[in-house]
């Protein structure tokens, strides 16, 4: 991991644990992310110009090797691409490991959910209402178990596919850097995104925890997905809490109402 010793905005020296520049007041983390983004955009532009000048090929077998006529900016961009390739190598391994951890529980939950849906029946599932979720006994309701297990299992399977896609994309970007081509800019896979949202909807407590954790990511796509997860989880939890409070209020009113006398 790159250690920042100077502020990306004003270039003044900073301490290792600083998060805000004492000279210009800039957010060091955000400033470094913006600097990396600018470097990546410059790298793409430089490679496109090189392809046009060189007949459609940039770098080739000489990629990664310093040229006597290479400018300081070109050297800086080449080094940045190499650092990005190193980061993607670690990220690819992390994606494969996480996918392996997610795969088995997701598949087991999906199978359990499908079996429960088959046992309960679609007609019975359709009778489920908010009134059935007002007490703790709802957690033992086979209809609820079937829906939650299926939803969480499907979410896990989607996340697994998305993680594999991201790992493959990271591998492709690493090869492109080694060949001197424009590296592919990775983004959050669509499957992973919908898997996260389904998790937040069918299992709000887990969705809230995962969403908060994702908000600390340096990747803007992942951070945005985390924020959406928090909103969905909060809304679902809020609806369930309000529903339970309404049930409690109705129960108190019934207890206070005197029985009718003949």
Its domain, for residue 161, covers: 28-54+71-253
Each residue of 72-91: pLDDT tens digit? 555 555 566 677 777 778 88
Q: Give the dihedral of Cα atoms 128, 131, 135, 141; nearest 10 deg.
A: -10
In a domain, 66, yes or no: no
In a domain, 10, yes or no: no
Instruction: Tell me if 4 is assigned to some domain.
Output: no
CA distance 169 to 177: 13
Q: What is the pTM of this model?
A: 0.61
The region of weakest confidence among 14-18, 112-116, 208-212 is 14-18
By the 8 A CB rule, do 160 and 99 touch? yes
Rounded to the nearest 10°, the torsion over CA 96, 98, 100, 106 is -140
**Three-class SS of residue 27?**
strand
**What is the rounded distance in angstroms from the CA atom of residue 185 to the CA atom of residue 170?**
9
Q: Does residue 129 fall inside a structural domain? A: yes
Whether residue 21 is contained in a domain is answered as no
The model's pLDDT over 91-117, given as tens digits with 9 standing for 90+, comes to 888 889 999 999 999 999 999 999 988
Angstrom distances, CA of residue 119 to CA of 105, 132, 152? 21, 19, 18
Query: Could you say which DSSP state residue 170 is in?
Result: H
Structurally, the chain folds into a number of domains equal to 1
The Cα–Cα gap between 122 and 15 comes to: 61
Tell whether 36 is covered by a domain.
yes
């Amino acid at each position: 991991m790159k250690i920042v010793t100077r502020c990306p905005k004003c270039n003044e020296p900073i301490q290792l644990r600083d998060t805000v520049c004492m000279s210009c007041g800039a957010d060091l983390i955000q400033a470094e992310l913006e600097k990396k983004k600018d470097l990546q955009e410059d790298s793409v532009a430089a490679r496109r110009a090189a392809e046009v000048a060189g007949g459609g090929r940039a770098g080739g077998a000489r990629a990664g090797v310093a040229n006597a006529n290479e400018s300081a900016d070109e050297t800086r961009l080449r080094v940045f691409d190499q650092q990005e390739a190193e980061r993607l190598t670690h990220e690819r391994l992390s994606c494969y490991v996480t996918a392996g951890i997610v795969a088995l529980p997701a598949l087991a939950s999906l199978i359990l959910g499908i079996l429960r849906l088959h046992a309960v029946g679609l007609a019975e599932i359709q009778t489920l209402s908010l009134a059935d979720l007002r007490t703790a006994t709802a957690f033992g309701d086979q209809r609820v178990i079937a829906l939650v297990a299926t939803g969480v299992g499907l979410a896990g399977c989607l996340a697994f596919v998305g993680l594999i896609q991201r790992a493959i994309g990271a591998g492709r970007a690493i090869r492109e850097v080694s060949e001197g081509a424009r590296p592919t800019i990775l983004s959050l896979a669509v499957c992973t995104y919908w898997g996260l949202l389904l998790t937040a909807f069918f299992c709000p407590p887990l969705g809230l925890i995962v969403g908060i954790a994702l908000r600390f990511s340096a990747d803007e796509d992942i951070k945005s997905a985390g924020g959406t997860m928090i909103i969905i989880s909060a809304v679902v939890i809020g609806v369930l809490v309000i529903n339970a409070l309404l049930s409690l209020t109705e129960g108190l009113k019934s207890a206070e109402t005197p029985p009718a006398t003949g």
